[in-house]
């Protein structure tokens, strides 16, 4: 029996399982300029749910992701146009990721103005760095540990607590 998928369902699913990410990479040639790489993803172990969402949207690609625990799949919105279309359409329904969506929409709209260029990796501009820093603050900076069984600690919150107690 196939389940009905609605916009409200997708928005709620994205709020819980989705990811809005802006990567920052130093230019390989100069190491003084940066490029920003946006990603909008939904990750889950239930392939059927992701296929249903993909079918409803009529865009995006699904990939297997390596995992040490169980098989995980990622529904990736492949182009900046898809990302912008998705975020603008679902933004009114988002609760948890609303602020992140607003920032990514701002970034994507600015990037899509670079017509005729490789706008996905257009040159660094100050406004991109501002969006990057705001997204970083929302998510917090996480330190990774290789120790098994330990949760990822948020160094951003730890630094705030340390400063407050000083």
Q: Return the residue matching tokens 């799949």.
A: 73
Burial class (CB in 10 A: 0-12, 13-18, 19+), 56: middle
| Cα distances (angstroms) measured from residue 109 to each of 33, 35, 72, 101, 165 | 21, 16, 31, 12, 41
Taking only the tens place, the pLDDT of each residue in 9-67 is 999 999 999 999 999 887 777 666 778 889 999 999 999 999 999 999 999 999 998 87
Fold topology of 7-140 = Endonuclease I-creI (3.10.28)
**119 pLDDT higher than 90:** no
For residue 17, the model assigns a pLDDT of 95
Higher-pLDDT residue of 101, 143: 101
Task: Report CA Rg, the chain.
Answer: 18
Average pLDDT over all residues of the chain? 81
Alpha-carbon distance of 34 to 25, in angstroms, equals 5
Q: Which tens digits make up the pLDDT trace of 61-83?
A: 999 988 778 899 999 999 999 99
Percent of the chain at pLDDT exceeding 70: 74
Q: Indicate the domain borders of the chain.
A: 7-140
């Amino acid at each position: 029996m196939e389940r009905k998928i609605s916009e409200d369902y997708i928005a709620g699913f994205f709020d819980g399982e989705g990811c809005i990410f802006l990567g920052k990479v130093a230019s390989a040639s100069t190491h003084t300029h940066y490029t920003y790489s946006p990603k909008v993803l939904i990750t889950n172990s239930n392939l059927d749910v992701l296929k249903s969402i993909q079918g409803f949207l009529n865009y995006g690609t699904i990939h297997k992701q390596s995992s040490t625990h169980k098989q995980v799949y990622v529904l990736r919105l492949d182009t900046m146009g898809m990302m912008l279309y998705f975020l603008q359409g679902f933004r009114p329904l988002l609760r948890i990721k609303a602020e992140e969506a607003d920032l990514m929409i701002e970034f994507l709209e600015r990037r899509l103005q670079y017509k005729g260029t490789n706008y996905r990796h257009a040159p660094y501009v100050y406004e991109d760095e501002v969006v990057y820093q705001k997204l970083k603050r929302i998510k917090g900076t996480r330190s990774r540990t290789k120790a098994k069984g330990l949760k990822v600690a948020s160094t951003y919150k730890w630094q705030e607590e340390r400063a407050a107690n000083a």
